[in-house]
Amino acid sequence: MTELADQPVLRERPDRPAPRRPARRVPTPVLLIAPSLIFMTALFVWPTVVAVGQAFTGDDGPTAAYVRRMVDDPSFWPAVRYTALLIVVLIPIQFAFALTMALLLRERPRFAGVYFYLWVVPLAISDLAAGLVWLSIFTDRGYLNSVLDHLGVAGYSWLQFDHPVTMFLAVMVAELWRATSLVLVIVVAGLQGIPKDYDEAAAVFGATYWQRLRHVLLPQLRPSLQVAVILRTILALQTFAVAQALTGRNLPLLVGETYRWYNALLNPNVAAALALVVLGVSLLAAAGYLRLLREHPEARG
Amino acid sequence: MRRPWARAAAVQAACVAITLFMAVPMYLIALAALSSRESLNRFPLPLLPTDLSTETMSAFLRSTGVVPAFLNSLQVGLGTLVLSLLVGVPAGWALARYAFRGKEPYQLFLLLTRALPIVVLSVPLAKVFLTSGLYDTTYAVTLLHTALALPTTVLITAAVFVGVPRDQEEAAMIFGATPVQAFLRVVVPQALPGVAAAAMFAFVLSWNEVLGATILTLNQRTLPAQVLSTLSDSPLAYRFAGGLALVLPALLFIALMRRYLLNMWGATLR
């Protein structure tokens, strides 16, 4: 606001001399961002430094013992594998799903408002709640087996510890149900920014729906899609409570292991080491994000 | 080319299918949580609400720690909302309306903090809070949740303020409004829905966050933390009731947001 006051041309106040910008003063924008900067340094940078200390210093100086203990744990590599698998399998399906939803809404069907409402409700549902919702479906005497029973098909122990495939599928369906709405909102917002002219021009010149989708819409949607991919990758890395609610510890994931080391095994040092692994991978994804922003500044947001 | 009505029918069918996928699980958790214990023990489970009872839900609400946890969640959520707006809105305004040195690095810093996983913050913060006496208080959880919400609050509010045309503000001042009047009467009304969306975002993030709240507390649990920490040794009925208790606010929240969501969406289709 002060900046506006510094533009005397806009204000006809001949009785007052035009205010001049004082020579040395903390600029207003710096004052405005300072609280957030201090806050985030205190709660992001500092803990990260403490975490490095926790993971690499023992009672007598620097040590790699905690890292070794983390890697030697029999659950560590399965947790890495399942986390990676979840990201690789879930995210493409999720994006195809979200794009389909957004394109369906773009057709302006009747009841579109109701559909949109129901499709975005999971935005506000926590991962723990989603896990519990799907637990009522996948548990041994749950709704899925009840339906199968009504149909005369024998039930199946979807979440039993020696059925890793169905356990993984259950976690994936729950995550698909819960987290696709985030991608949907980003894609819908992205579509919002695309002028309809190109699409209409392509239609006038006889392009089919798929041609327009492939050559007009998707290229323009690319920045939003890339942002969504990176955000979802970082969030999918942190998948935890869904698996906890559905499978307990039977399907190990990286963050779940951190929680176990901290909470059940009472070893914050190994927990910190694991947290740093998650951080490392997230930073890789974030680096991709930053690089993308340099290429397409419009993708910010 | 397909006929328009066939196309519309196909679109409707696909929409209905997706809606079923989204809505049926919510129906089922409500059904499970509102069934009596006795009917939850039956197999196959009834798929229609023939035997509704509040027994499961009220047992959940009477369990130790659930009501205090609910109040803690509310307190932490509102605290996060207020704190993140107080700190975040000025920064959003600065990003939207000023060109200043350090703007680029600041934005990169914001984006980078969004990439920091909650787990990385929670474990060391527990140590920091233990030494500073904040451990196991709702304030500790509020601080963590504000830190998580803040980058998004700043980015959303910046986008909101960018969307308010500078010209209108200047026009108001040409017609004699002071900068403060111009801000209050031109900027605020236009920015309010977006800022409200940012506020709700902060609240919901806090309401839903499980891991950090569990790690930073022992007795002052928030609702998700309470449910998570008692998960492994609680009966299925308790878990279903907990699931519904966590889902219901989401329905309410999206219903409240609906106006803004539809507004945003209306802008899409224009």
ipTM of the complex as predicted: 0.84
With 70 as the cut, is the pLDDT of residue A8 above it?
no
State chain B's mean pLDDT as an integer.
85
Nearest beta carbon to residue B25 from set A111, A177, A238? A177
Residues A150 and A229 in one domain: yes
Residues ≥6 apart with Cβ < 8 Å to B145: B76, B77, B79, B80, B202, B205, B206, B209, B212, B213
Reported as a pLDDT band with limits 50, 70 and 90, residue B90 is very high
Cα dihedral value B240, B250, B51, B62, nearest 10: 60
Q: For position A4, what pLDDT does the model report?
A: 46
Chain B residues 211-250 with a CB less than 8 Å from chain A: 211, 214-215, 224, 227-229, 231-232, 236, 239-240, 242-243, 246-247, 249-250
CB contact under 8 A, A35 and B268: no
Do residue A169 and residue A206 come from a single domain?
yes
Mark yes or no for CB contact A108/B111 under 8 Å: no
Chain A to chain B Cβ contacts (< 8 Å)? 313
Find the range with the poorest average confidence among A55-64, A282-291, B217-226: A282-291
Identify the band that residue A296 occupies on the pLDDT scale cut at 50, 70 and 90.
low
One-letter amino acid for residue A220 of the chain: Q
Asked if pLDDT for residue B153 goes beyond 70, the answer is yes
Classify residue B102 as left (phi > 0), alpha (psi -120 to 50) or beta. Answer: left
Per-residue confidence (pLDDT) for residue A277, from 0 to 100:
92
* Nearest-CB residue to A50 (from B117, B124, B207): B124
Residue A3: per-residue pLDDT: 45
- Residue A61 forms beta bridges with which residues? A58
Task: Examine the domain organization and report whether A40 and A91 are in the same domain.
Answer: no
Please judge whether B150 and A36 are an interchain contact, meaning their C-beta atoms are less than 8 angstroms apart. Answer: yes
User: What pLDDT does residue B234 have?
Assistant: 85
- Of the CA atoms within 13 Å of residue B49, those in its CB half-sphere come to 11
Rounded to whole angstroms, the Cα distance separating B34 from B48 reads 11
Q: Is a pLDDT exceeding 50 seen at residue B268?
A: no
**Contacting A residues, span 173-212, partner chain B, CB-CB under 8 Å:** 177, 188-189, 191-192
Residues A119 and A28 in one domain: no
pLDDT of residue A131 exceeding 90, the answer is: yes
Give the whole-angstrom CA distance, residue A109 versus residue B8. 7
Q: How confident is the model at residue A17 (pLDDT cuts 50, 70, 90)?
A: low
Boundary residue ending a domain (A63, A90, A114): A63
Same domain, A110 and A206: yes
CB-based contact A132 B23, cutoff 8 Å: no
Q: Which residues contact B87 (CB under 8 A, 6 or more apart)?
A: A35, A36, A39, B146, B150, B153
Residue type, A255: V
Q: By residue range, what is the domain housing residue A151?
A: 79-299
> Measuring CA to CA, how many Å separate A60 from each of A64, A269, B83?
12, 14, 40
The whole-number pLDDT of residue B263 equals 46
Task: Answer yes or no: do A126 and A252 share one domain.
Answer: yes
- Give the model confidence (pLDDT) of A83-107 as tens digits: 999 999 999 999 999 999 999 998 8
Dihedrals φ, ψ of A63, to 5°? -150, 150
Q: A234-247 pLDDT, tens per residue?
A: 889 888 899 999 98
Q: Does domain B64-230 have CATH number 1.10.260.40?
A: no
Question: Is residue A40 assigned to a domain?
Answer: yes
In a domain, A282, yes or no: yes
Distance (Å, rounded) from C-alpha B152 to C-alpha A234? 15
A148: nearest CA in chain B?
B44
Q: Hey, are the CB atoms on A47 and B128 less than 8 Å from each other?
A: yes
Mutation site, B123, B160, B173, B253, interface A, largest A CB count within 10 A: B123
Number of domains in chain A: 2
Does residue A6 register a pLDDT over 60?
A: no
Give percent of chain B with pLDDT exceeding 90.
29
CA-to-CA distance for B123 and B145, rounded, in angstroms?
A: 14
Name all contacts of A107-114 with Cβ < 8 Å and 24+ positions apart.
A107/B7, A107/B8, A107/B11, A108/B269, A109/B8, A109/B11, A109/B12, A109/B15, A110/B12, A111/B15, A112/B15, A113/B262, A113/B265, A114/B19
**Alpha helices per DSSP H over A205-301:** 209-212, 218-237, 241-247, 254-263, 268-295
Q: Are residues A49 and A165 in the same domain?
A: no
Give the Cβ contact number of residue A113 at 10 Å: 14
Distance to chain A for B54, nearest Cα, Å: 17
Task: CATH number of the domain at A142, please.
Answer: 1.10.3720.10
